[in-house]
Amino acid sequence: MKVINTISELRAELSLHRADGKTIGLVPTMGALHNGHLSLVHRCVAGNDITVVSIFVNPTQFNDKNDLANYPRNLSADCALLEQADVDIVFAPEVSEMYPEPDNRVFDFHPLDSVMEGPFRPGHFNGVAQIVSKLFYAVEPDAAYFGEKDFQQLAIIRNMVQQLNLKINIVGCPIVREPDGLAMSSRNMLLTAEERERALIISRTLFDSLRFAADNTLDDTKSYVEDKINAVNGFRLEYFSIVNGYTLQPVSNWDDADYIVGCIALFCGNIRLIDNIKYKEVE
């Protein structure tokens, strides 16, 4: 496994593989890797000749300076995991490599970015689009892998690929959960033991709501989740939205779409967690 820090070295290395007719897959990450990331890596390794994993804590997508400062970083542990997973190249650039100049590009994802995370994290998706497009230009992958835990991010990246006419297969991969149900996240390691215990209520409530939804209206299901979460001391709910899984726009009846997902964001103490659940999905 090669660890590369510059775009020029990355391009030189990848052009050799491309000349050999090899396919290239990319897994963009911000490091602090867990089994959720590794599930993306395994899919990528299985589906491509060459797997590139990028590790870069992207400053332009953090709307909160403390969140950026506290974001967990552990490059050597990450590289050990990636080596075991048969990754070919780790791309771990410095901020000055990715942003030699400030990136002033403004993307328009309306209405995908006007809902859910949008109002709570102004500029977040623009920053994600800035870095992911730069990574796409640097790697020119055949396929790129993203987790469905960041459900809105995945929809926005698919949209960005269309807007930019890129020929990259965007592969969404299912949420990976801890044995007790908590969705895996690099932020979980920032939770105190007590918060970690409490955080379990999130996935439990979403799974309970799946059963509740079977004989109740969409509005009642939404209230069911909101009431349960609001009743927990130490939680601060930002939103729970039940949306069309393609357009991300809220739906009001179970018949309104054939793909319906409930997305939640809340603070557990000072740590912001997100999760989602599929109520209805087309095969």
Q: How far is the CB of 202 from ligand PAF (least distance, A)?
A: 18
Burial status of residue 226 (CB atoms within 10 A of its CB: 0-12, 13-18, 19 or more):
middle
Residue 222 one-letter amino acid: K
Tell the residue number behind the tokens 């542990």, with chain if given.
Answer: 77
Segment holding 24, helix H or strand E: strand 24-29
Q: Tell me, yes or no, if 37 is annotated catalytic.
A: yes
Of residues 39-68, those binding ligand PAF (CB under 6 A): 58, 61
Say how far residue 235 (Cα) sits from the centre of its chain: 22
Q: Among 23-31, 80-88, 94-102, 198-206, which window interacts with ligand PAF (CB under 6 A)?
A: 23-31
Q: Does 30 interact with ligand PAF (rule: CB under 6 A)?
A: yes
Site string for ligand PAF, 88-117 (x = CB under 6 A): ------------------------------
Residues 152, 247, 40, 21, Cα dihedral to 10° = -130
Catalytic residue among 17, 37, 110, 124: 37
Least distance (Å) between residue 131 CB and ligand PAF = 5
131 part of the interface to ligand PAF, by CB under 6 A: yes
**Minimal distance, residue 163 CB to ligand PAF, in Å:** 17
Q: What is the layout of strands, in order, in the sheet containing 24-29?
A: 2-4, 89-91, 50-55, 24-29, 143-147, 169-173
Tell the smallest beta-carbon distance from residue 30 to ligand PAF (Å): 4
Cα–Cα dist 163/145, whole Å? 18
* 150 binds ligand PAF per the rule CB under 6 A: yes
Among the listed residues 24, 25, 29, 161, the single contact to ligand PAF using CB under 6 A: 29
Is 262:275 a contact under the CB 8 Å cutoff? no
Active centre residues (catalytic): 37
User: Which residue ranges make up the site for ligand PAF (CB under 6 A)?
Assistant: 28-30, 58, 61, 128, 131-132, 150, 153
